[in-house]
Amino acid sequence: MQEVKIQEIVQEAVEIAQKLGASQSEAFCTESRELSVEIRDQEIDTLKISEDTGLGVRILINDRMGFAFTSDLSSRAVKEAIRTAVNNAKKVSPDSNNFLPAPPDGGYKDYQIYDENIEKTPLRQKVEFAQEVERCSRAFDRRVSITESCAYQDASYKVALANSLGIGAFYKGAFCGSYAQVVAQQDGESQSGFGMQFKRNFRGLDPDALGREAAQKAIRMLGAKDISTQRAAVIFDPYIATNFLGIITPALSAESVQKGKSLLGGKLGQEVASPLVNIIDDGTLKEGLLTAPFDGEGVASQKTVLVAGGTLKSYLHNTYTAAKDGVLSTGNGIRNSFKGTPEVGTTNIYIEPGEVSRERLISEVEKGLYITQVMGMHTANPISGDFSVGVSGLWIEKGEFEQPVRGVTIAGNMIDLLRAIDGVANDLTFFVGQGAPTLRVSSMTISG
């Protein structure tokens, strides 16, 4: 399928929708290609190649918004989807805040998110990349003996959007990455370790660093023991800190706030975290995996400071929630795919790095747990902010790693956790669209 094709499809869809009685209409079409190669014991375990296209249409009739999608792009199926969206619109509750954005005054910026080398690099080279990751993990320590998964992945995608207010926009992007989960064994015990990298260009990937990271994480957990219940300092490595950031992000959505489901509701201008904490959402971030010229409804991407010096500065908005609050959309109308409507979501969201090194944060701890793995993160409650998760990591005694620890839980509330942060390291690391540096909390309950 050609670039012009999906741009034509969205324009035609909008024309048809207007003829069928829409007061406003929008069509969103994507075309993507993906590749993933999974390696085990230097052989291709699974190779997967995909091409995926689809269209989503939003129809507004008298303040009522209906939606339908189709992955069949024949003109018959497209018409059927539009008719269904029109019918759905008639059954939805009306809301005067439902409307579509107009084209932005300054147009859209180009963020150079498409590296043609990702598609052009021969498959053989990508397979070799994944093999190299596995080799490097095994070479790190001979106790690394099982590959749970070791993969190279890439994707290139095209996005076309049109609406009846005159938006007609298009962009293409690509990314590539790799991840490895390996198992180290010793005396009948097995421990796994994980590493991942995702970049906007193929040259940015480092198989050696990735393989070693996964291996090192597995090895250092060997011999993990239980500990007794106590209060102690807790350090979250960037991956775990990013997981915890994930609990708080729904609370930053204006939609959650407006529905009374956010623990940050009504707290604009108030202190919600330690003064060391700054949280940013940036859809324009250079080389960000979720950087794009515009969001899922055609609003230009921007950088939004959400928390500065511990004070809540802004919520995330799409066009609907912005209208309801009488503010401007922050460009956070996010579509996970053509199958969904643009909901308030994040672009590249991260906790800003601090000044001190990770080593420094650890060396200052008298007694505490450096957390490297967490289980049951999805059970945290984003509405109340309560979490209780299984963790494992390394026990710190007098500023040094003493002993791997597993089978313990930590519990608390996100707000208390954010307020208790007393150290932010300078090692911001991104995991696709979310990132955080190493964080330290002075004291938490650790149950064993």
Tell which positions 143-202 bind other proteins, by CB under 8 A.
146, 148, 183, 189-192
Give the one residue of 104, 168, 204, 340 binding other proteins; rule: CB under 8 A.
Answer: 340
For the bound state, the minimum distance from the C-beta of residue 324 to other proteins, rounded and expressed in Å, comes to 10
When asked if residue 403 is in the footprint of other proteins (CB under 8 A), the reply is: no
Site track for other proteins across 280-319, x = CB under 8 A: ----------------------------------------
In 187-244, the DSSP E strands lie at 189-199, 230-236
DSSP assignment string, 405-435: EEEEEEEEEHHHHHHTEEEEBS--EEETTEE
When asked if residue 121 is in the footprint of other proteins (CB under 8 A), the reply is: no
When asked if residue 223 is in the footprint of other proteins (CB under 8 A), the reply is: no
- Contact, 317 vs 330, CB < 8 A? yes
Q: Hey, what amino acid is at 96?
A: S
For the bound state, the minimum distance from the C-beta of residue 36 to other proteins, rounded and expressed in Å, comes to 9
When asked if residue 75 is in the footprint of other proteins (CB under 8 A), the reply is: no
Closest to other proteins by CB, 91 vs 106, is 91
Closest to other proteins by CB, 388 vs 426, is 388
Give the one residue of 28, 69, 140, 179 binding other proteins; rule: CB under 8 A.
Answer: 69
When asked if residue 379 is in the footprint of other proteins (CB under 8 A), the reply is: yes
Site track for other proteins across 405-424, x = CB under 8 A: -xxxxxxx------------
CA dihedral 201, 206, 211, 213 (to 10 degrees): -100
When asked if residue 87 is in the footprint of other proteins (CB under 8 A), the reply is: yes
For the bound state, the minimum distance from the C-beta of residue 353 to other proteins, rounded and expressed in Å, comes to 29
SS3 54: strand
DSSP assignment string, 155-171: EEEEEEEEETTS-EEEE
When asked if residue 388 is in the footprint of other proteins (CB under 8 A), the reply is: yes
When asked if residue 52 is in the footprint of other proteins (CB under 8 A), the reply is: yes
Total site size for other proteins, rule CB under 8 A = 76
Helix (H) / strand (E) containing 309: none
When asked if residue 88 is in the footprint of other proteins (CB under 8 A), the reply is: yes
Candidates 110-118, 351-359, 382-390, 430-438: pick the segment binding other proteins (CB under 8 A).
382-390
Q: Which residues contact 345 (CB under 8 A, 6 or more apart)?
A: 253, 316, 332, 333, 334, 336
Residues between 249 and 268 with contacts to other proteins, criterion CB under 8 A: 258-261, 263
When asked if residue 339 is in the footprint of other proteins (CB under 8 A), the reply is: yes
When asked if residue 445 is in the footprint of other proteins (CB under 8 A), the reply is: yes
Closest to other proteins by CB, 43 vs 359, is 43
When asked if residue 45 is in the footprint of other proteins (CB under 8 A), the reply is: yes
The dihedrals phi and psi of 209, each to the nearest 5 degrees, come to -60, -40
For the bound state, the minimum distance from the C-beta of residue 224 to other proteins, rounded and expressed in Å, comes to 9
The Cα 441–Cα 371 span in angstroms is 11
Q: Measured between alpha carbons, how far is residue 92 from residues 65, 95, 98, 334 in Å?
A: 7, 9, 11, 21
305: left (phi over 0), alpha (psi -120 to 50) or beta: beta
Closest to other proteins by CB, 12 vs 52, is 52
Closest to other proteins by CB, 357 vs 443, is 443
Give the one residue of 19, 203, 231, 286 binding other proteins; rule: CB under 8 A.
Answer: 231
- Contact, 421 vs 439, CB < 8 A? yes
Give the one residue of 125, 229, 336, 357 binding other proteins; rule: CB under 8 A.
Answer: 229
Q: Measured between alpha carbons, how far is residue 173 from residues 72, 198, 292, 346, 396 in Å?
A: 23, 14, 8, 18, 43
Angle at 95 between CA 381 and CA 65, to 5 degrees: 85
